[in-house]
Structure 1
């Protein structure tokens, strides 16, 4: 595995329409603003549980109006608020069960928690009227080693649509790339991303990111125009890969160019992800854009 392509995924700003205040792109948020936002966060931990020494989060997603459990919701985990808790998250849970419960393993640390459910059933993408989300609250949780932090999340239906600015994964266009993320044995890698670059320098911030891969490892990258692109795939949308994290490039050590024509999709692209063997550099690429 080459050590050259390991920068985080792009997280552009998201703007809400009709009665919702817009936010600046994450890249323009300075440290003072971020600190102020984080200070306004609500501590969402109601207690800690022990389960076979696991470290992470556990809880229930329910409707704010009536308190009924919400099945099929996803819980997104962000490391801070610089992305305004929008776009790809550092971690994402499996869908909540019929009683609204979720559990997700994450390293010890402080996180910001968001719950969302789309009527399409997809784990990622723009929210639309009728989808559920935990409003714009900044719910913060401290995860302690060997414990599961209990965080219950109330959600409301979205009444106004939202859209993404350019370079975000789910801005639908008539041009792009579809394929699958698989491991070395050919098994699908769900809940991960394909990323695209306009040149063969993969050791930087990607230019485009895909939708979150589904249970079969399938992804879609929407592109604004045709051209030549270079692809990679990875699990997390944050920081450079750690040793052992699944990562791969189309073409292996020598990135392979992929020609895309305007108005069409390149289909059936397979990206093989194997454990990253490069050297992790603490502090590199820690800010989501």
Structure 2
């Protein structure tokens, strides 16, 4: 057994030490924690119930410009214990974990899949250390489009929770940002789809005034019955985002379009 293999196994054992009996997470180190070992990123991936997400894959991208879509620069499978290890050189990487219901290892997100970008993207890899990064997968209930205007990290933007008229969180909703009130074109920026808790964070590259739409599809005119919402009529549909601040918009209630 090579020295490098032993080092990788040591890193995975370190991860296992952070998980208690029956896969219950204990007081694990923060995602930014480092442990002496081979350079790379290691951690656990769990589903929405907290169970190991066997069959998932963790992908690493050198850049987030493509919205964490398309062929990744690096990938690592998740084992039966929910653990993975990405063998990487020094640098910064954007990570996303995906588990496809079809069992395929490529293709666009589809309903029934689960995914999660890492909230601390980009993550840094340093020589002589393994970086820890854990994931909790979110279900995808609607086809999702990640375009070039989708950012997965930052310090400027909006946050909130999407609910239906009964107050239930809406999974698979997309929050779209426009520089003006012309909602008939492609949005300038898009938040990743909401998970089962309905929570969203829309990261923006800079401060300014943005007009927001929440919907469960992203192409074409809103369809009858599609869950949809704007923040108000006219100028009330727009909000100011200050640079360096994630502005909390609270609850946004979506209702079937056309009713």
TM-score normalised by length of structure 2:
0.48
TM-score normalised by length of structure 1:
0.44
Q: Which structure is higher in RCO with an 8 Å CA cutoff and minimum separation 6?
A: 1
